[in-house]
Structure 1
């Protein structure tokens, strides 16, 4: 970013500080408002009002933020979605991407509401009227879909570790049990989450999997090549011509 763009981003963040504090004060203990600065992704939290996720200024973005960072200027707003913290809190959230006047995405303004108690009331009322509810703290109100757990932390390494562990769990196999194609697939899925948008993510993933950094970079390169090959039209070469 140029100096003028950085200055504009700084001004927007400064203007949002009292907005964040005002919203959190209005909704009370059930609300947390966070401003992220994508220019420092490992310590993206620059403003925080309220305390639902245990983070402080200098804390890390979640996997949701990493995905927005990966998408860059094309990142869309994410409104009215539900996540669950490792402690079991159900959060209803909205994330608005912050942009400069030329459309450059530089951060996010996030509002989190703790709806755990409301979800429990919803399930209780459903039980009383004979409707089978979802398990409190695990399902979104009115939905049969299980809400994924989202890791919120002051340390970006915790978020990276959670992403790696979650994908291994979903795969049903540990790293040592995966063949070459499955390992490339795991790295492709990690890449799709935006984890590797964080500068030191590759060494952290390598450490979590118990492999060398060189191996991790090789698997990531292989995964990206496989993804590019899948997205390429049949009969075309890597340079875009006919094969």
Structure 2
């Protein structure tokens, strides 16, 4: 992803900020629309309309946003993904990458619909909801530290600081795949959680990028 997208990116963000309230109002109080600027990924939220996930301007992206960021200019829309917030809400989320005049991804428009009430109805009328799709736990928060912790927890069940290097390398490779190291300041944060120095983390990350054999799941 380019460090300096085309200036058209700012014009696109400005235009979308003006329509966010109308989009959210169209779907009522169960809808939230969030606008992200990936040029500042650790504070990507630049506008919010509606109240579903508790997001605020200046807040962090979720794991969904990280996955889009990780794909860079190859990112595609993620439509209708069922997620579960830490508070237990069932949310149907769609994430639409935004491209500047040169076709480069620089942000995203996200629509979150609170589907909790529909789930309750669906428990009685399961055929209408199409069966057994399970929501993915997702951390919607303004704090990038919480998102980082959630991604690490999803990749390893135990204490990451207790992992031997053989298991730490697959974890670092998984975090790299999920876009964690695109966040400014992520490396020292990850190093602290893994109980290693920043230099050791950079060496391990370089090893993971050289050697695809490390791209497996941690064993502990």
TM over 0.5: yes
Q: Give the conservation status (yes or no) of the 8 Å contact 2:170–2:214.
A: no
User: Residues 104 and 35 (structure 1 numbering): CA distance in 2 closer, same or farther, change over 3 Å?
Assistant: same
Q: Following TM superposition, by how much is the alpha carbon of 1:30 offset from its aligned partner in structure 2, in angstroms?
A: 0.4
Aligned residues: 213
Matching of residues 127-138 of structure 1 within 5 Å: none
What is the DSSP-based 3-state SS (H/G/I as helix, E as strand, rest coil) of the residue aligned with 1:181?
helix
Q: TM-score scaled by structure 1?
A: 0.81
CA distance in 2, matches of 1:220, 1:143: 41
CA distance in 1, matches of 2:143, 2:5: 30
Matched, 1:164 2:152: yes
Matched, 1:70 2:55: no
Higher Cα radius of gyration: 1
Q: Following TM superposition, by how much is the alpha carbon of 1:163 offset from its aligned partner in structure 2, in angstroms?
A: 0.7
CA distance in 2, matches of 1:42, 1:201: 9
Which residue pairs with 2:48 in the alignment?
A: 48
Which residue pairs with 2:36 in the alignment?
A: 36
CA distance in 1, matches of 2:6, 2:59: 23
Relative contact order (C-alpha < 8 Å, sep 6+): which is higher? Answer: 2
Which consecutive residues of structure 1, in runs of 5 or more, have no partner in the other structure?
A: 132-140, 231-243
Q: Following TM superposition, by how much is the alpha carbon of 1:105 offset from its aligned partner in structure 2, in angstroms?
A: 0.9
Which residue pairs with 1:233 in the alignment?
A: none
Matched, 1:120 2:120: yes
CA distance in 1, matches of 2:35, 2:143: 16
CA distance in 1, matches of 2:48, 2:72: 23
Q: Following TM superposition, by how much is the alpha carbon of 1:204 offset from its aligned partner in structure 2, in angstroms?
A: 1.0
What is the DSSP-based 3-state SS (H/G/I as helix, E as strand, rest coil) of the residue aligned with 1:202?
helix
Q: Give the conservation status (yes or no) of the 8 Å contact 1:66–1:194.
A: yes
Equivalent residue for 1:147, pick from 105, 120, 135 = 135
Matching of residues 1-243 of structure 1 within 5 Å: 5-6=6-7, 8-126=8-126, 141-169=129-157, 173-175=158-160, 177-227=162-212
Q: Following TM superposition, by how much is the alpha carbon of 1:94 offset from its aligned partner in structure 2, in angstroms?
A: 1.1
